[in-house]
Amino acid sequence: MALLPILTYPDPRLREKAAPVTVFDAALQQLVDDMAETMYAAPGVGLAANQIGVLSRIFIIDIAGEGEPSDLKVFVNPELIETTGLQTYEEGCLSFPGASEDIKRAAEVTVRAQNAKGEFFELQADGLLAVAIQHENDHIDGVLMIDKVNPMVRRKISRQVQRAAHSA
C-alpha cells in the first residue's frame, strides 16, 4: 500500500468529472487499498479517486468513530437513486485543509454502486453516512463543497485553505 498525495483546492483536476470503471482487477483493488491508507493517514472519513488525481468513479467512506472497528465502504460507479428530507451538517474536506462549513444536503439517500469486485449493491443511509456519500459523489462529478455555499462563505473557505497551506 502507498500513501498518495491529495489534491487541494483550487487544483483544476478537482473539477473534472470522473469516468466509469469498466475493469475490476488487482489494479483496482490496489487503488482502493492505497486510497484507504491515504484517507486514514490524512485523517478523513471519505476520499474520492479524483482527489488523488485518478479520474475514475470510485470513492471510499469509513465513518466509524474513535475506538470503533473500521467499517470501510467502497463505492464504484455509484448512482444516487433516491434522496429525501433535508439536513445541515458541518462538513470538512481533505481537499480543503483547515476549512469546514455548514452544508445543506438530503437527510436520507439510497445509492446503487459496485464494490471493488464489480458486485452490485444498494445502500440506504442517513446522518453522517448520507452526508459523506453525497459529498464524495459530488467529487466524482467535479462538484466541490465550496459550490454549495454563498459567495461570502466561499471567500471565507478560500482564506482558510490559503492559511492552512501557508502553515503546512
CATH number at residue 40: 3.90.45.10
pLDDT tens digit string along 3-59?
999 999 999 999 999 999 999 999 999 999 999 999 999 999 999 999 999 999 999
Give residue 73's identity as a one-letter amino acid code: K
pLDDT tier for residue 149 given thresholds of 50, 70 and 90: confident
Cis bond before residue 43 (omega within 30° of 0): yes
Q: How does the average pLDDT of the chain come out, rounded?
A: 94
pLDDT of 141 > 80? The answer is yes
pLDDT of res. 168:
65
Please check whether residue 122 is in contact with residue 111, taking contact to mean a CB–CB distance below 8 angstroms.
yes
Residue 136 a catalytic site member: yes
Look up the domain containing 110 and give its range.
12-167
Q: Based on the structure, what is the number of domains in the chain?
A: 1
Which one is catalytic: 66, 82, 90, 136?
A: 136
pLDDT of res. 96:
93
Q: Is residue 29 part of a domain?
A: yes
